[in-house]
Structure 1
């Protein structure tokens, strides 16, 4: 009888495992199809290419009438041959937008990595892929860990996807209904993504330091409201905006760094710092009790 029950339990576990694998496979296929659709849309946008004559230079250039992507922004960010842009090139660009080096790497990714990639694409207005990679690298370095795909997915959901208020300072390559392309009907020229002002020395001083501290305090209050710690008054006691700006936010090996981008790092990284403060207050509460 026990042997029979063991056989039944084994079969049930095997069946459950197969069902889980089938569900994962279905999710993977749906996500890949989603990215294939984005690649097709990008390719369609590039096919709207037309020649136009620049009256100032007397030369012919390309103009686009895209519906899905900001073609000019993509041309600025990626090395693209406008004369020979294929659907495969579009697949490659979509993969790079969400953190993969090439399309084949996306196809071989785990279900967690693909789910994260879709979240990155859908939340491009909140955080650019380069900002996300910087965020991960910094947290891995500070905590001496290497996050696996599942941990990265959990972090992104907790810190960015499920939290309002984030706004990327980088380019959102998608065209929202009310968003116009960067440079429609004009010659495509390389342009800077940020301001030309660079931070070249630390610590910050003068008006610049005051602005960074003010921004940090403002973001701190927003984060505190979002995470709703158990002991907000204790978190405020631990919070030190001056120390955060002077000793934590920027490091010498990050210089030179664009000033606007450095400001955006406050919003990107402060969530994790405040969560750490909240954990410290919980530990203090346990110790006192």
Structure 2
């Protein structure tokens, strides 16, 4: 699947998950402002995503597909959906790889790491760091991933390997 089609599908998945909103929640473990609902998502940890991105739940209003596209774009490091759809294909391929592996390497932490790498290179007089360089570094880091690492971050994707019987 082409990266742009992949991101369109992810936006549709998020939109579908947000439509599963049910009655106001009785779970006091997390609170998102004045309103808090339960969800029955299939693809995303909706509550965590809403908490981390500071999204508000308004009674009677659901997020539009357009808003979901914007959220997906932000999750992969673009400021808007428009920036995502106009990005070069190599960049989209890298962002797709990052999105698919967010349960292994947190995308926000990766962006901070890359900024640090670029800063260190610039201090050494190297002013070129391409998408290809970042992809190579990401793939190497991914190959060294250790699921037993205590600092493993779950990401926003639901673990599809869990059975429905697991609480």
Match of residue 139 from structure 2: 157
Give the superposition deviation at 1:171. Answer: 4.4
Give the superposition deviation at 1:113. Answer: 0.7
Return the alpha-carbon distance in structure 1 between the equivalents of residues 50 and 12 of structure 2.
17
2:79 to 81, 94, 101: 101
1:91 to 69, 93, 101: 69
Secondary structure of the structure 2 residue equivalent to 1:48: coil
Return the alpha-carbon distance in structure 1 between the equivalents of residues 27 and 72 of structure 2.
34
If you compute each CA radius of gyration, which structure gives the higher value, 1 or 2?
A: 1
Match of residue 110 from structure 1: 88
1:69 to 28, 44, 49: 44
Return the alpha-carbon distance in structure 2 between the equivalents of residues 163 and 109 of structure 1.
28
Larger RCO (CA within 8 A; separation ≥ 6): 2
Tell me: CA distance 1:163–1:169, structure 2 relative to 1, closer, same or farther (3 Å): closer
Return the alpha-carbon distance in structure 2 between the equivalents of residues 92 and 55 of structure 1.
28
Match of residue 99 from structure 2: 121
Return the alpha-carbon distance in structure 2 between the equivalents of residues 52 and 81 of structure 1.
14
Tell me: CA distance 1:169–1:179, structure 2 relative to 1, closer, same or farther (3 Å): farther
Match of residue 148 from structure 1: 130
Residues 1:32 and 2:4 are matched in the alignment: yes
Q: Deviations over 1:29-63 (max 9, x none)?
A: x111111111111101110111236499xx97411
Unaligned runs of 5+ in 2: 29-33
Return the alpha-carbon distance in structure 2 between the equivalents of residues 60 and 156 of structure 1.
38
| Count of residues in Structure 1 that have an aligned counterpart in Structure 2 | 150
- For residues 267-278 of structure 1, the aligned pairs below 5 Å read none
Q: Deviations over 1:162-190 (max 9, x none)?
A: 3332666444100012289xxxxxxxxxx
RMSD: 2.7
Structure 1 length as normaliser, TM-score? 0.47
Match of residue 44 from structure 1: 16
Higher share of residues assigned strand? 1
